[in-house]
Amino acid sequence: MSCQSYSTTHPTNPTNNVDAIAGVAVKVVAFLCNWCSYAGADKAGANQLPVPAELTAIRVMCSGRVEPTMILECFQKGADGVLVLACHPGDCHYKEGNLRAYCRAELLERLVPQLGVDPRRFRFDYVSAAEADRFSQITNEFVDQVRALAVRPFKN
Amino acid sequence: MTSRARTAVILCTCSGIIAERIDWEKVQKLLAGHPTRPVFRVDQLACGADNLEQLETWLKEEKPERVVVAACSPRDHEATFRRLLIGAGINPYFLQMVNVREQVAWVTADPVQATAKSARLLSAALDRVQRQEPLVARKVPLRTEVAIIGAGPAGMQAALTLARAGRKVTLIEKEPFIGGLPVRYEELFPNLECGPCLLEPVMGELLHGHESEYVDLLTLAEVTAVKGTFGNWTLTVKQRPRFINPDLCIGCMACAAVCPEHRPHAWNAAGELAAVDAPFAGALPNFPHIDPAVCLKLKGEECNACLVECPVEGSLAFDDNARQITIEVGAIIVATGALEKQDVPAAFAGLADVHTGYSFERLLAMNGPTSGEILKADGTPPQSVAIVHCAGSLDTNEISYCSGTCCRAALKYAHITAAKVAGVELTRLVREQVVPGLDADSQLHHDHSAVSRYSGLGALSVDGVGAERRIVCQDNGQAIAAEMIVLMRPVVPGAGTSKIAEVLELDTNAGGFLAQLHSLSASCASNMKGIYLAGTSRGPGDIREAFSSGTAAAGLALSELVDGRDLVVDPQVAVVDVMRCSGCGTCLQVCPYKAISWNARDRIADVADILCRGCGTCVAACPSGAITGQGFSRAMLRAEIGGVLS
């Protein structure tokens, strides 16, 4: 099953115009683990802390679930930045999934420049369920950084 | 693939909170052209009881195949809306939630941006939900019996707690007697409570009390193999022969008095024990035990000394054999305990009247080798006693951790020694002093021994002999009178703990103790579902912790194994596609729960859904893409990626 066999990039799909309406210039995908970083994002909401509108979260149970190819696919499909946020080392709900994610991130940081993607467009970090401020800070910092970079040369 | 399944979208305003930032009318317009042609319903408060009823009616009328709910965090109400789908006759895993409250409305100041972001997330959810599969939670019948390994305070307490709830328990003890270490201690810190007095009622209740009918005690027994998973374990237990018929023996120990052969008295760490004997007065169960390596008759030699003396014919069972017993249980509680590190540090090795904590405890005990008198090997009391704290603990060369119990034991030794030996010169050599607990401070306040600080065992040497013997401390040049020396050695895992870790394939921590599922919030659970931990198998601890963790482990077994309630296996687990699995074994390495096993016949990986917790680490690691994370499959996540980037 191809990833492109079905998607909302269908020419008649009016959501294509959403970003133009809202003035959103970049798109950033954040993979959040259910137990720590997604909970931290929820807490940022409960505390009404700012999170960039350009950031859309994809919830996974564990950061260890995120396949490196998924991150590459994000870039391929036009993401300007990809974040993976995990539980802090030692705090993983699944004991060590975050460490697997960390190992994969180490590789990806070296891999993405080979594909013509500025490594500053990818970030792996840790956010606990309590760190609402940190979630807000990291996401704003990262989206600011991505905004400051030139438009991706091979963005489709 | 049902790429155009009819989809219902519930847009919640959360009593207006969400609607303050997100224009649901606008979102509907933006999504009207979505290929799935969703049907929308805006709801004031979708989680409200009345609203849920109306939504159920609506879903029954609309008959959608998929449902998307845009509301609060799935961490709040995913379960609520799954139940809504079940009520409406839709598979609960055909639900996808969009978190527009916490992650959009509350964090996006500009309503135009919030509305646009919601539309993008909903579009992604509509794409994702098409790929979702109907999942059914499997039900597995559970056994409610529990096996407890180790009959020290923790294991006994767990057994009694379960027995009181009417649970069948098999209590497996490798020694011929129960009670663990503290039953051999005369007095317990911090309040100098009598150890046997505390434990004998517990042991009595276990052996003869109202609940004893639920407890099957196997002494001299060890678990040698385990098969199965949570709820259905099969244990193989090897039981060594006691050579005593427990139905006939009255425990008079007349046999021990006449036995001509003796063995080293391991329980007392001093003296000898007859080949047929119990280690101390009050040892339970109240039968002797014959050591077949020492008994003349069992070695084939001519001896009937005990048989002649025994008042009840048949009590001595020389034809007793080792047994292999199979036990089927739902859960296992490991309470195999800890020990003091046995070896004596080089500076003290081979010297007379050097004790470790354990051998000193036996010296203090009325049923010990000196009937409770503090005597040197020559039978006279020492003029000076030096107690060395942290002897090998907090030491990167030996044991890096603090055992946390030795200081209180050392203070107890000092207190009892001062009371028993008139005029004794007492010194405690300390590195750190750890005296936690609400009532342990009185131990410090009542202590009158001299205290000398030292930096580590390397700084200590022993000089002189007898009454002139001194411990010389390099740090301060002090020479401390030490006719008798007590070394507070670190607490390490008991032999049974290391062995059982291997048999049950439990992880161990750096100290070799059994790894806890979480050191703070799940310290009585192992990382294997259905195996619980109690007492010092988890790390050094005192008797209070042994009792409370025994109760806690029993509580876990009671709450997870309920008679008549099947185990409902969450279907959001990893599933191996047998046709695509190349048998590389990568997944076996990454699974944190040992939920994946090697199927040698088909040369593929097998996932035990009961043990899988659905983290998806193996799914991401599989180089063949042969594992599907149900509920979070590759197709679903890719559809979601495509959706948010559209």
Three-state SS string over B241-304 comes to CCCECCCCCCCCCHHHHHCCCEEECCCCCCCEEECEECCCCCCCCCCCEECCCCCCCCCCCCCC
The domain locations on chain B are: 7-135, 146-240+322-338+494-560, 254-309, 344-489, 570-630
CA atoms of B590 and A53, how far apart (whole Å): 35
Neighbours of B4 (CB within 10 A): 12
Of B74, B120, B632, the CB nearest to A18: B120
B570-630 and B344-489 share a CATH fold: no
Residue A16 has pLDDT above 60, yes or no: no
* pLDDT at residue B526 in the model: 94
- In whole numbers, what is the pLDDT of chain B averaged over residues? 94
CA atoms of B314 and B243, how far apart (whole Å): 10
List of residues 6+ apart from B68 with CB closer than 8 A:
B7, B8, B9, B10, B38, B95, B96, B97, B98, B122, B125, B126, B129
Contact (CB<8Å) B120/A19: yes
Residue A66 has pLDDT above 70, yes or no: yes
pLDDT in tens, B622-636: 999 999 999 999 999
Split at pLDDT 50, 70, 90, the class of B267 is: confident
Model's pTM, two decimal places? Answer: 0.78
Q: Are B557 and B602 in contact (CB under 8 A)?
A: no
How many inter-chain contacts (A to B, CB under 8 Å) are there?
186
Which residue is closest to A24 within chain B, CA to CA?
Answer: B113
- Report which of residues B281 and B612 the model is more confident about: B612
* pLDDT at residue B527 in the model: 83
Residue B434 has pLDDT above 70, yes or no: yes
Residues of B (411-440) whose Cβ lies below 8 Å from A: none
**For B146-240+322-338+494-560, CATH number?**
3.50.50.60
To the nearest whole Å, the CA of B504 is away from the closest chain A CA by: 19
Residues of chain B contacting residue A74, judged by C-beta atoms under 8 Å apart: 641, 645
Q: Is B510 on the interface with A (CB under 8 A)?
A: no
Residue A22 has pLDDT above 90, yes or no: no
Residue A69 has pLDDT above 90, yes or no: yes
The domain locations on chain A are: 31-148
pLDDT in tens, B51-69: 999 999 999 999 999 999 9
Residue A18 has pLDDT above 70, yes or no: no
Residue B596 has pLDDT above 80, yes or no: yes
Of B99, B639, B644, the CB nearest to A29: B644
* pLDDT at residue B561 in the model: 94
**Does the N-terminal peptide bond of residue A153 adopt cis geometry, omega within 30 degrees of 0?**
no
pLDDT in tens, B157-203: 999 999 999 999 999 999 999 999 998 899 999 999 998 899 999 99
Residue A1 has pLDDT above 60, yes or no: no
* pLDDT at residue B281 in the model: 81
Among candidates B61, B49, B55, which has minimal Cα distance to B10? B55
Which residue is closest to B131 within chain A, CA to CA?
Answer: A6
Which residue is closest to A51 within chain B, CA to CA?
Answer: B107
* pLDDT at residue B505 in the model: 87
Percent of chain B at pLDDT above 90?
90
* pLDDT at residue A154 in the model: 58
Q: Give the helix/strand (H/E) hosting B84.
A: helix B74-87
Percent of chain B at pLDDT above 70?
100
Which residue is closest to B527 within chain A, CA to CA?
Answer: A95
CATH for B570-630, among 3.40.140.10, 3.90.280.10, 3.40.50.1100, 3.30.70.20? 3.30.70.20
**Maximum C-alpha span of chain B:** 101
CA atoms of B144 and B328, how far apart (whole Å): 10
- Report which of residues A150 and B345 the model is more confident about: B345
Q: Average pLDDT for residues A76-94, to the nearest whole number? A: 94
Fold for the domain defined by B7-135:
Rossmann fold (3.40.50)
For every residue of B461-489, DSSP letters joined together read EEES-GGG-EEEETTT--EEE-SEEEE-P
CA atoms of B111 and B533, how far apart (whole Å): 52
Alpha-helix residue ranges (DSSP H) falling in chain A = 18-22, 37-46, 68-76, 97-111, 132-148
Among candidates A130, A76, A81, A71, which has minimal Cα distance to A104? A71
* pLDDT at residue A23 in the model: 57
C-alpha distances (whole Å) from B483 to each of B423, B453, B462, B479, B486 are 13, 19, 10, 12, 10
Q: Average pLDDT for residues B414-438, to the nearest whole number? A: 95
Q: Is B113 on the interface with A (CB under 8 A)?
A: yes
Contact (CB<8Å) A78/B645: yes
Split at pLDDT 50, 70, 90, the class of A8 is: very low
Split at pLDDT 50, 70, 90, the class of A19 is: low
CATH superfamily of B344-489: FAD/NAD(P)-binding domain (3.50.50.60)
Contact (CB<8Å) B641/A77: yes
Here the tokens at position A110 are 């070296």
Q: What ipTM does this complex have?
A: 0.88
Here the tokens at position B379 are 């039978």
List of residues 6+ apart from B113 with CB closer than 8 A:
A22, A23, A24, A53
Q: Are A125 and A83 in contact (CB under 8 A)?
A: yes
* pLDDT at residue B227 in the model: 86
Q: Is B617 on the interface with A (CB under 8 A)?
A: yes
Among candidates B289, B294, B306, which has minimal Cα distance to B255? B306
Find the range with the poorest average confidence among B261-270, B454-463, B528-537: B261-270
Interface test with B, best of A17, A18, A43 (most B CBs within 10 A): A18
